[in-house]
Structure 1
């Protein structure tokens, strides 16, 4: 058995790389404006469209193309069509304002920040498919919690992927967070169980446990997540206290099947949606909100630590829609 620990150190007044990871000056529109959905909506409303059925048809196409999903899109368009036919909207700008309100209402119930309370240590179990950015999200969360003055330990439960242990240890060293790891190929549940024991002994506030990325169709690996939960419960019947699933925002509608399977196998309690800048379509967040109602805890819009943000429904919608409101000149 190999245990790799980074030295436990007191939380300083400022994390050493806090300046590097300071919140970027750019706003939400600049962070999300590169998504396919934002570009489509901006192009649609920038040409001052007429308030008619053609506008609704083009809006429906933009929403579907942006991965908002068939069900959510139908609900939104049907509501706007009904209101347009009753002459509620004076122009396309008024319809856009109504769309903004409807989109915010769809996301508001899932905009619930993660609260670290009620357990010591608070155990976060991180799950997701290969390549979703799970280990990177763990590093960013460790930084976030450290800057809040919380003591954090990481568990290298991804014993399958090459270099996963080294990657997590690099994050731990960078943010002065201890990491418990064993040799590659070790039993993931055993690693995380030992990490919980160590976190309890050290009085850590939070334990973040990595797990191997897996496809939602891999039954054996999905069963392993259930095993991790059972083993943790032997040490703390209430653990894990949060199961965060990391979702690649570029995945599109396949994310629905992924979440459904992980929810059933691992008991997912919250979502982290990454890679929402760049090539992501962005609308999958709305589809996930409508389908599952699971809290969206964080979204990732860049590579820096500060680019993992608590999910804000109003800010997210404003970042996707053009800056035009009813009554604007």
Structure 2
């Protein structure tokens, strides 16, 4: 693996007794990239993050940051910032003192600390909140303060461990966009752990799809979604339709949005089925259509026209080139 990568993980492994949770994982990323480790619970993604942070000791392998082997360093020697799922703010400290905590430990003079706190509060959109306490703030505000505390000491790497999972859906979307905007502004290399595929695809430069301690695929969000490398990557990221065996053969699949109710210039294949259900998702309608006993989902824009009704027979149009062939697991 290239020595030029700003963050490099080589053959990293971790076991707890007989349970090997990370199995010889290797990857490298450039300075300023936003990387997501994506996978189901128990796949090893948080363990990797904690090994990068120094909270867990690898059984094998090495971690390099900016050309230096940090595998044996203590967490406070690594110059990394970390944001946890549960905020982890000090409840007895004001917002300002929470943000200044790492600076105070590092011996930064009081006036410089105060200036940096003000700078961070403006960055996260909470100017003037320095005298408040965490209990006086919403969950989203607390998580923004936790982010400010992590980046105040100017770490060379930012680690985010499922930081949005305790928040409601609307706050999650706005906060993930704000995290991405701040990350771009600062140019800080960031590793973001999540089980939420939409979250990972929407804000990442590259995504590491993990399963059972291994990397299934590493690529851009576009490649992960449109060109999945393995059966797991294809089925974990997004929704897939299994197509009728009698027509297409075994293990053929297609995304719901690539099936349409009317022909397009690129469509060359048709199927006839019966509408069994209609789901309204705001700007998108998801139709359930039975084709030769195989249920298919079709996503189409809500164009303010009358949609098909349950029981209607419809003709589905697709392009053979869009059909994915899923190999063995």
- TM bracket (short chain): 0.3 to 0.5
TM-score where L is the length of structure 1: 0.32
Largest Rg, 1 or 2? 2
Instruction: Identify which of structures 1 and 2 has the higher relative contact order when contacts are C-alpha pairs closer than 8 Å and 6+ apart.
Output: 1
TM-score where L is the length of structure 2: 0.32
Which structure shows the bigger proportion of residues in helix conformation? Answer: 1
